[in-house]
């Protein structure tokens, strides 16, 4: 499903694979017929030192970035082929070759590194770059991700989900989130409210109800409310929305009249706005988005075992981080 040759570089760099819901980077060449017993190890073109014409980023920095991003996949191999000066002052072009064993076919991908050395540009995406590309997001989330939580109290290892109660994919992702919480009890899981108000008219109100449930009832009641409202998601359309919200509050064990009054308050709306602003500051533009110690990963369209490998890998990198 996520073939090496059907992905954008942006998804390849930050996502778990090379192709979920992405446009083709380059046409796939026919798979060559490999004689029985012959090696299928990818063979990269020779690297010419003349292709490295800038001081920043260094080849070592690019290697570390790729290792952090892709090291969880033992079958993924790459070669930094060129780091070159461009006509734009301070902007460098990085070219890499990559492949996935046992397929011997090799792809070429390029991106541009900004003068500050902290970002890369690939097609229409601006992404974090560097030897520790997710550290800044990691620190922001440790400080500001204060939504309803489960799991460990410590924030050293952190899973943060941005979700919308009216988003069908978010509903589908909740069993994934619960499985992650079960499989990684050492992690601090946070649910951040991120209603997509431009396409889901009841999402903000559902989020405000959720904020009030969390405030008045605590984490356990919030997740009971979340389960109930996701289950009744279809009822959020049209005239049944208010009753669906009240029923979800009742399922949490709280008083729907009190929560309704709270949801209309400036404090509740401010809490939702703050969660949305956190998402915007982290460039969240779709739900559900999961941050693994600052590393953004789409939750849908990914086999669970592969997602689990990414979590294990990122946590292994960060386990000794204060």
| Sign of the dihedral defined by the CA atoms of residues 167, 173, 175, 180, in that order | negative
pLDDT tens-digit series, residues 178-212 = 999 999 999 999 999 999 999 999 999 999 999 99
Q: Which domains does the chain have, with CATH numbers?
A: 9-131 (no CATH), 136-318 (3.40.30.10)
Q: What is the pLDDT of residue 103?
A: 87
Q: Which residues of 228-240 are buried (b: 16+ CB within 10 A; e: fewer)?
A: bbbebbebbeeee
Read off the pTM: 0.87
β-strand partners of 52: 83
Cis bond leading into 153, ω under 30°?
A: no
What pLDDT was estimated at residue 280? 97
Residue closest to 253 by CA, chosen among 217, 208, 229: 217
The beta strand positions in 124-267, using DSSP E, are 125-128, 149-151, 158-163, 188-193
- The percentage of the chain sitting over the pLDDT mark of 90, rounded to a whole number, equals 79
Query: pLDDT at position 39, please?
Result: 57
Q: Which long-range contacts (CB under 8 A, 24 or more apart) does 150-154 make?
A: 150/181, 150/189, 150/219, 150/223, 151/181, 151/184, 151/185, 151/186, 151/187, 151/188, 151/189, 152/185, 152/186, 152/187, 152/188, 153/188, 154/188
pLDDT value for 17: 38
- Stretches in the chain below the pLDDT threshold 50: 1-11, 14, 16-35
pLDDT of 322 reads 67
In this structure, the number of other CB atoms found within 10 A of the CB of residue 218 comes to 12
Which residue has tokens 């009744």?
Answer: 232
* Residue 5 confidence (pLDDT): 29
Residue 13's pLDDT is 55
How do residues 100-129 score in pLDDT, each as one tens digit? 988 888 999 999 999 999 999 998 888 999
The whole-number pLDDT of residue 96 equals 96
**Cα–Cα–Cα angle for 180, 194, 252, rounded to 5 degrees:** 65
- Model pLDDT, residue 2: 30
| Contact of 254 with 211, CB cutoff 8 Å | no
């Amino acid at each position: 499903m996520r073939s090496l040759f059907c992905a954008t570089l942006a998804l390849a760099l930050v996502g778990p694979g090379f192709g979920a819901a992405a446009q083709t980077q380059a046409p796939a060449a026919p798979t060559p017929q490999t004689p029985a017993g012959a090696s299928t190890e990818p063979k990269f073109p020779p690297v010419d030192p003349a292709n490295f014409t800038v001081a920043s980023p260094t080849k070592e920095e690019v290697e570390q970035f790729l290792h952090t991003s892709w090291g969880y996949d033992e079958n993924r191999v790459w070669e930094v082929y060129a780091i070159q000066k461009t006509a734009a002052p301070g902007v460098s072009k990085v070219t890499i070759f990559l492949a996935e064993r046992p397929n011997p076919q090799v792809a070429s991908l390029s991106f541009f590194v900004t003068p500050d050395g902290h970002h890369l540009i690939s097609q229409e995406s601006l992404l974090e770059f560097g030897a520790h590309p997710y550290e800044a997001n990691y620190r922001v989330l440790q400080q500001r991700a204060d939504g309803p939580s489960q799991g460990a109290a410590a924030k050293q290892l952190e899973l943060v989900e941005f979700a919308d109660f009216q988003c069908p994919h978010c509903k589908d992702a909740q069993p994934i989130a619960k499985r992650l919480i079960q499989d990684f009890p050492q992690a601090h899981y946070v649910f951040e409210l991120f209603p997509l108000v431009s396409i889901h008219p009841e999402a903000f109100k559902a989020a405000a109800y959720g904020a009030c449930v969390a405030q008045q009832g605590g984490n356990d009641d919030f997740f009971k409310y979340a389960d109930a409202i996701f289950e009744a998601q279809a009822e959020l359309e049209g005239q049944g929305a208010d009753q669906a919200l009240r029923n979800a509050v009742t399922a949490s064990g709280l008083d729907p009249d009190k929560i309704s009054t709270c949801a209309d308050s400036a404090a509740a709306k401010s809490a939702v706005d703050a969660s949305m602003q956190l998402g915007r500051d982290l460039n969240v533009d779709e739900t559900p988005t999961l941050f693994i110690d600052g590393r953004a990963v789409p939750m849908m369209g990914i086999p669970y075992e592969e997602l689990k490998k990414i979590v294990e890998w990122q946590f292994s990198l960060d386990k000794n981080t204060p």
